[in-house]
Structure 1
Amino acid sequence: MTAQTVANKQTKIINLGLVLYFIGIFFGAAVAFLAIWGDLEASLFDALFKAEQRLPSLSCPVLITADEEVTIQASFTNRGDRDENLAVRARISQGFASLIREERVEFTLLPGDSETAEWQVSADDAAWDRVVMARVSTVRNAPYRRLVGSSCGILLLPFDVGGLSGGHIVTAMLIIGLVLTLLGGFLWQNGRSRPFPLHVQKVWRLILAFAGLVGTAVIASLMQLWLLGGVLLIILFLLLISATDSFSGSAVDSN
């Protein structure tokens, strides 16, 4: 095998790694975008009941399919030294943003106890046939009396995916994104000589930065921190645009 053949094969592997890496980045960014989209729309839902403090334990799925029921849930812990009576209210869209159903869950928490409130929603609850929106709130007494609550949104998938649930689709996207990102990054850097030339070091730092931004955006969006997730995706997009020349040169450079 000639040196030229070896070099060509190495270049193909490096370029393949770069392609796989960006496909993986796309899948991760897509999950973050979908989660942010639903929560962004829900942030405007039932705005008169916005709370003084965020409810960080509120959890909503990212996607729901047409024939699926999913669960919205929020957990509560009594960290004080007295019993706490809670009336948790969930206001959920019912086919329209202006048509709202309200469900209440009441329970008593002893000091140190925790409880989880759950509500079932389906595709029929999606406003504009696009997103199920919910706002969950309650009044907490410790350390002072205040309204605690948050909103979240679940996007309705407009097409059937072979009987898969929304949760299966999101999980598959995350796994595919992670595997392709790691594999692509490994292939891109593994065939290069060490130490990396300066221009290759720059691209490698960008590769790590993109992966870090997407990973953080995914975590933030799944925690209903849609504003932080959105800012991270914007930074990612701007960084990708500014780094186009670096990656274009890297795609054909096997040194």
Structure 2
Amino acid sequence: MLIEYKKANIYQSDSLVLEDVCFEVEPEQFVYVIGKVGTGKSSLLKTMYCELDIDKRNAEKAEVLGRNLLTIKRREVPALRREMGVIFQDFQLLHDRNIYKNLEFVLRSTGWKSAKEIDERIDLVLDAVGMKEKKMELPHELSGGEQQRIAIARALLNHPKIIIADEPTGNLDPETAEKIVGLLYEISHTGETSVVISTHNHSLIDKFPGRVYKCADGKLTDVSQEYSKTVKQ
């Protein structure tokens, strides 16, 4: 199990947003977290990479990639984050440097030394998202969909076991959004990487079926069977 929560309470500041959360992610699984704005989707995802803490008082279990989030030390968080890729709605690319330099910065900051290995890895991930020819361009020269493809390439750099995508299609038109989710779906089914994606676009679930959790009324519920008969369990 890559992620396993049992009876976890999640707070945003001092407000309880999700209570008694039970949540699981297995290898090579595609998992949706759906729900209206403000129901706790982003808060749940932020706990997975330790941007938000889980309430330690009542939780039975909260593990991500073998780490106990109830006892993890702050100095141990960077190592956990290196094993995952995180994709944001607003891309979060560095606009003062080209795409190659954006990706090189990530690799060097996570311990890569060899220029040859860095070049090869950057070419490989850009090729995987169909953006190899754009590596010398600046982020503002790319469309929103292209920038999100670069964000996916960045998330793939360190061979992640899991990708966490927080509303990655929120700023994209429907056609581009479908292509981005399709790319993430393909990644989860052709390698060793699972994907957890939050979205309010329920139509994508029919096209790219997966396990579905819904945030509503302070609870997280597995509603997979309501959306697809081909859910990967």
Q: TM-score, normalised by structure 1?
A: 0.22
Larger Rg: 1
